[in-house]
Copies of this chain bind each other. A is one copy, B any other.
Amino acid sequence: MERRFERNLEDLKTALAKMGSVAEESLGVALKALLSGDQVLAQRVFEMEEKINRLEIEIDTAIIDLLALNQPVAGDLRFIIATQKINNDLERIGDHAVNIAESVLTLQTLPGVSIPPEIHQMVEIARTMLKQALDSFILLDTSLARTVLRTDDQIDDLNRLMAQQVITQVKNNVLTIEGGLELIRISRNLERIADLSTNIAEDVIFETEARVVKHHAERNDTN
């Protein structure tokens, strides 16, 4: 029984790692579609969403079985709870990748909108944050998890900057309004992906140190 439980925990970690890599791939494809304007890539994101949704339900079901058939305590229980939350966050990251892919298709109907440098920067930061958050989960590396927490402010600033720039641009030329709103939408989705990566990092810290760093309690101390 004990050995089977340990194997089940290993399987759960493997399943979440897979969910993580599918979410990461989906985001990667969406971002590549965004920077290249490639509609075929955007379509692939919609297909990947179904896989992510299926995986989410599979992992959720496995977690309930695991809790029902065993009596996990302490670290094991925190691992299971963290896995459940991260699973949910990854599914939401998949949703934001879909939103970005939808924006790619909308931008096709708005010729002349180019992706500004701020979005390029946000793309890099969001991608790195998700990768670091997932690595911190696999390696139980709380130092890496804390790196993710510290990066979140950068993307918030860029998101605000984007809105300001769109306002300036629209005042110069009102016909840029549709494109501007779409850029704000993309910027906001990137900001949310960074936020969800932060949630994942917080869950890794909770799992490893039994310490709650939500609601920026710790970040306010260190910044």
Contact = CB atoms under 8 A, between A and B. Distances in A.
B174 A57 contact: no
A81 B80 CA distance: 12
B163 A57 contact: no
Interface stretch (A31-39, A70-78, A126-134): A70-78
Contacts of A215: 53, 57
Contacts of A73: 68
A177 interface: yes
Name the interface size band of chain A.
20 to 34
- Scoring A63, A74, A174 by chain B CB atoms within 10 A of each residue's CB, the highest score goes to A174
14 contacts: A53-B214, A53-B215, A57-B212, A57-B214, A64-B78, A64-B81, A68-B71, A68-B73, A81-B84, A84-B84, A85-B88, A166-B181, A167-B178, A171-B175
Interface of A: 53, 56-57, 60, 63-64, 67-68, 70-74, 77-78, 81, 84-85, 88, 163, 166-167, 170-171, 174-175, 177-178, 181, 184, 212, 214-215
> 4 shortest A-B CB distances, which residue pairs?
A53-B215, A71-B71, A174-B174, A68-B73
